[in-house]
Chain A
Amino acid sequence: MAMEITQILLNAQSIDAASRKHAEESLKQFQDQNFPSFLLSLSGELANNEKPVDSRKLAGLILKNTLDAKEQHRKNELAQRWLSLDASVKAQVKACLLQTLSSPVPDARSTASQVIAKIAGIELPQKQWPELIGILLSNIHQLQPHVKQATLETLGYLCEEVSPEVADQDQVNKILTAVVQGMNASEGNNDVRLAATRALYNALGFAQANFSNDMERDYIMRVVCEATLSPEVKIRQAAFECLVAISTTYYDKLASYMQDIFNITAKAVREDEEPVALQAIEFWSSICDEEIDILDEYGSDFTADSDIHCFYFIKQALPALVPMLLETLLKQEEGQDQDEGAWNIAMAGGTCLGLVARTVGDDIVPLVMPFIEENITKPDWRQREAATYAFGSILEGPSPEKLTPIVNVALNFMLTALMKDPNDHVKDTTAWTLGRIFEFMHGSTVETSVITRENCHQILTVLLQSMKDVPNVAEKACGALYFLVQGYEDSGSASPLSPFFHDIIQALLSVTHRDDAGESRLRTAAYESLNEVVRCSTEETAPTVMQLVPVIMMELHQTLEAQKLSMDEREKQNELQGLLCGCLQVIIQKLGSAESSKYAFMQYADQLMELFLRVFACRNATVHEEAMLAIGALAYAAGQNFVKYMQGFYPYLEMGLQNFEEYQVCAITVGVVGDICRALEEKILPFCDGIMTHLLKDLSSNLLHRSVKPPIFSCFGDIALAIGENFEKYLIYAMPMLQSAAELSAHAATVDDEMLEYTNQLRNGILEAYSGIFQGFKNSPKTQLLMPFAPHILQFLDSLYNEKDMDDVVMKAAIGVLGDLADTLGTNAGPLINQSVSSKDFLEECLSSDDHLIKESADWAKLAITRAISG
């Protein structure tokens, strides 16, 4: 086998399908039969300078794939497999890889460095391969540049794979020293300098201590800034990437460098090649991101223990920053609006300008207005477009008081431009700007809307006309309509849109039927606007929405009839089905939730269900998701009548609950089970054995994405509330699962915000399950069955209170559970409740909460406890 491996690896890349297939099978067989020998062959191949580069590269790639996978569960399995290998095998593989770093063949070196990082990612956290970093660092001192380059690249990958906690500070210092030295201008070899700069990008996360030391930070920053001036464009780009990363990781350490960084970025934006200029703009965008986050934090609940401090870098840089960004707006590319993947300096600059406006608010307006006024009427389309884009960009951030007078003047101009401007690019941006005006300057949250009953008609006329324009302009007009309509969401029965309602729907339907509706996501935009029109319909316009039902159903029916489609056509068909199901979902929710329209609407229920079931027969996750959500809304509207669809729908429900792969579908299906529980109540009982089995399986599976687990617990509560004491037979399965999940989540080591958020979602799910179970058993003779679980549940509540890291939602649910427990178990639980911390201190805290939902639940709990204790 070893003799043939080169040939097999080459055949696996052959253009001949048969020999490729054969080679792949041989590799698989080899791997299955003797895994250690397989690894040795591959690493030997990669290390062997005599072998062709293609077989070496593939050998390295296959090696890498034996060590790592995207899916977390699989990833863990692979790591375990590697760790359990014989030590001598591992040593040989590692030796081959390290040896490859000195290979004269760049591709071999690069592949080896990636594989080394993967192994390091597995072994270093286990305190294995301790000599690795020492070996790499000694490589740095080699004179051969290509070895240096490969070693730096390896260090870069290594920092990407390994978390900073794994390395001790001494090692970190040495790595950083090596990397920063490699970046230094004194390094004569560009490849080495580039590799070092890219390595620094990944190593920044390790440099916490070094960035806290003024001397070391000054040094790193100086080297990074110097690298932005390198004659080699790739080095300049990589250096700016480092600056961007530093701006988010070390925002609070930047104050003394900002003047220099501004000069560097300004030069790059004005003079450098586009990839570099884009990174330079990105630096400012990411500073905006940071400051917007910090200021948001100030606005919400800035407390004494909050340690984030805003340095107002953007505010200080404003007078120079804004003119720089305005200049970029004039560098548009022809046709950028038709190109989905386009990203150029004008787009980046405009986006940054929008972020700056959100950061500083009113201050930006006087700096941008002269540019707009000067350019908006110029004959050159670039100037008109740039002026319009600048205007659109600053609509979010400044106060309505500041903007309203300007927008009042500009609105007519914009409407005229959308109709009359000869340039599509200008019209595209104009329609987008109108959308932004409607989004931010109109609606129930705006004190005085710029839209009046008088100009509303004119605006609609222009938008509907513009929806017949070229696809990218029409798409923006649909988007503008979306926000115009949204602004009337709370206007009640006397919506100014009512007289035009029918025309709006007709116009949107015509757009969906345009031959070119597939371009510039026009069809999607039209359906999205249609959805918003439906959401904002009133009792008065409900009959028009009702007429829409058979129309959309017919469209969906047609997509299901279409046969013998090509792959491409099928994909488009699926997309359309998704849009139609989405639209029906919105309609169902609207018409099904109002008493006045529900009756008339439900006549379509049978047909709708039939269509949805046919949609399920198509294999496409997005469509399933949309159809599932639509069915959830339908179940809610149908109530107990939904029972007649259960037989037909149940198989698909089961399918959804087993869809581990497309976990979004699984999550949504779990939510729909809840809808059905609330609709059918005890009539769901015959289906509960099956549903509970799948839910319990889902919970114990390692394959299912963790985000689905909290909703499954909530779903237990939905089921229990629906079937009451019939939940008895599931107690022996559900309660232990809840109990162990509760223990885990009560004391979860919440290392980061994301983990804490997940932990709280899990806690909320568990608590909702307990609430549902208690309330389900209330007034039943079987409440005693729950008594044995009460001590643990109270303990869980106590520990939540003591951990002090629950969010408001959990707090509300937790105090509610306390009330439910008291309510259902009554005087039996009195002594237990009296003993628990949560019944006194926790309750007190919740009663004095500012959050009305928590207070409300606490009020309830207090009442229930009062009754339970006083009998």
Chain B
Amino acid sequence: MAPHELRRPFKRPAISDQQRRRDLALIRQTQQRSDSQNRARRLASSLFDLPSHSFPDACQADFPDNVDVGYAIALEQSPELEASSPTVRHLDFVQASKLKGSAARHWFARQLMLTEWMIDVPPNLDRDWYVFARPAGKRCFVVSSNGSTVSRLRNGSVLHHFPSSLPNGARTKEISAPSHVYCILDCIFHEPDQTYYVIDMVCWRGYSLYDCSAEFRFFWLNSKLSETGACNPPSTYHRYRFSVVPIYDCNRIGLHKAYTGGFAFVKDGLLFYNRHAHYQTGNTPLALVWKDELCSQYVLDTDSEGHVPAEQQVVLELQDDGKLTTSDDPPILFGCLEKEIIQKAGNFLRFSVIDECVRIVDGKLELGDLKFVGKANRARAFADSYSKVFFQYTARHSPLQFQDLIASLDPNLDENSESNDMEMID
């Protein structure tokens, strides 16, 4: 039995560079395997709707033909997938987050779920709907990824670029989440207290909530957001506070709380969300907004100076053939421009409504002749929706009142009973 070796490494790093290369390669492989897994897990659920016709060619050029997008491209090129899967035209968020400039604006402008304006009270308001006060402010998408957080307005332009405590929302020393993780929140930025009020959760830690009911999304939002510290006061790595808005069942009590209750924010109307509805990009009748003077300073649309114009104004999109349409899908036709006035198709134009010409036929609004005011603000990415035009019209003439909402509730329904609520699966 010979003496035992006791030599220790001397003036040597604890680990050789060769071992480091091996380790790094293993880390890379593990990371990429987990990326592939995550991609696969998201395939059917968290890809964004991206109608190919609305995707400008310019931004295709932003993607080199490589493996990252190879996957998205392969999907697009594969005919049998196209036939069988509704997700064919989808582009992964991760790739979209690499978009820059106008391509990014264009893309993000189409991701928000847009509420319709409440023209009449939907049936079963108390069974199937939630109500909550809408904070006054700028509606925006907040995306945390790659160690930073970006908020984008409805038109896709960037509002803030900032560090936050959202997963992967800041470059801090502690790793808060793996690199591929991202979150997307539907928010309203409330200027007076510099707070992002989160009104919906779209993606959380890379997992999509698109195909989940509002009920589940709100549950997830309320349980997950505060865990991250995003609701804490601002600090170095967390520039803006996030906050949730109290959401009520749309019964008598809930409606009253939302309507008359005091909140940390300035109210701008009430939002109604159907609890079974999935998150859907674009306009949806399953999420509604309603306002009156008591709960909003902005019931009637203002012009660029902030004044309420004497006549109702609408912004419509001018199509190639001269048709003037709303932002709805499919668009609603509200008029037609004669050829000589057409300057450039695709522009958003502002018109005054001539009350005398307006007619309501079978519950449908027809505007009749319109008075051309001018081009809409350059930042506009959308025309007005049909429901907005309709709501603005009734608001000026025979508004839908809070009493109407209360009256629509089923008097037989016990307000304290939860028995009609859908059970949440735990």
Contact = CB atoms under 8 A, between A and B. Distances in A.
B53 interface: no
A351 B1 contact: no
B41 A775 contact: yes
| A-B pairs, 7 with minimum CB distance | A639-B67, A528-B17, A775-B40, A198-B1, A343-B7, A282-B6, A856-B205
A524 B43 CA distance: 45
B6 A279 contact: yes
A823 B43 CA distance: 11
Contacts of B181: 856
B6 A278 contact: yes
A638 B68 CA distance: 10
B177 interface: yes
A629 B207 contact: no
A591 to B, nearest CB: 13
A719 B81 CA distance: 20
B167 A852 contact: yes
B378 interface: no
A582 B18 contact: yes
B178 interface: yes
Interface in B127-181: 167, 173, 176-178, 181
B425 A866 contact: yes
Given A779-B44, A856-B205, A633 B36 contact: no
Given A238-B3, A860-B207, A820 B41 contact: yes
Number of chain B interface residues as a range: 35 or more
Contacts of B64: 595, 598-599
Nearest to B205: A856
B32 interface: yes
Nearest to A114: B1
Given A198-B1, A675-B32, A632 B25 contact: yes
Contact of B8 (A156, A201, A285): A285
Given A348-B6, A582-B21, A640-B74, 7 more contacts: A198-B1, A343-B7, A351-B10, A629-B22, A636-B67, A718-B33, A864-B41
B67 A678 contact: yes
A839 to B, nearest CB: 11
A182 interface: no
Contacts of B7: 343
Contacts of A599: 64
A663 to B, nearest CB: 13
A586 B136 CA distance: 52
A198 B4 CA distance: 10
B62 to A, nearest CB: 9
Contact of A860 (B17, B22, B29, B41): B41
Interface string A845-871: 000000011011001100111110110
A674 interface: yes
Contact of B17 (A160, A201, A582, A679): A582
A157 B11 contact: no
Interface in B199-220: 204-207, 209, 211-212, 216
B98 interface: yes
Nearest to A278: B6
Given A599-B64, A681-B74, A866-B212, A636 B40 contact: no
A376 interface: no
A428 B12 CA distance: 12
B21 A531 contact: yes
A162 interface: no
Given A153-B1, A241-B4, A275-B3, A852 B33 contact: no
B236 interface: no
Contacts of B66: 595, 598, 637, 639
Interface string B68-93: 10110010000000001100000000
A263 interface: no
B28 interface: yes
Contacts of A241: 3-4
Nearest to A852: B177
Contact of A859 (B21, B37, B71, B205): B205
Nearest to B422: A870
Nearest to B211: A867
A816 interface: yes
Interface string B388-401: 00000000000000
Interface in A356-384: none
25 contacts: A160-B1, A244-B6, A275-B3, A337-B11, A445-B173, A527-B17, A528-B16, A578-B18, A582-B18, A595-B64, A598-B66, A639-B66, A640-B67, A668-B25, A678-B33, A678-B67, A768-B33, A775-B41, A778-B44, A779-B44, A859-B204, A860-B41, A863-B207, A867-B211, A867-B212
Contacts of A237: 3
A348 B8 contact: yes
B425 A869 contact: yes
A771 B33 CA distance: 11
Contacts of A671: 25-26, 29
B192 interface: no
A472 to B, nearest CB: 9
Contact of B40 (A238, A479, A721, A869): A721
B411 interface: no
Contacts of A598: 64, 66
A157 B1 contact: yes
Contacts of B4: 201, 241
A616 interface: no
B13 interface: yes
A585 B44 CA distance: 35
Residue among A629, A863, A867 having the largest count of chain B Cβ atoms under 10 Å: A863
Residue among B32, B40, B85 having the largest count of chain A Cβ atoms under 10 Å: B40
A625 B19 CA distance: 11
Contacts of A865: 425
Contacts of A718: 33, 36
Contacts of B84: 779
Nearest to A445: B173
A449 interface: no
A589 interface: yes
Given A285-B8, A714-B33, A859-B204, A595 B41 contact: no
A717 B71 CA distance: 18
Nearest to A724: B40
B23 to A, nearest CB: 11
A778 B37 CA distance: 12
Residue among B4, B209, B212 having the largest count of chain A Cβ atoms under 10 Å: B4
Given A859-B205, A860-B41, A721 B1 contact: no
A717 B44 contact: no
A665 B16 CA distance: 18
Given A675-B29, A823-B41, A156 B70 contact: no
A578 B40 CA distance: 36
Contacts of A585: 21, 25
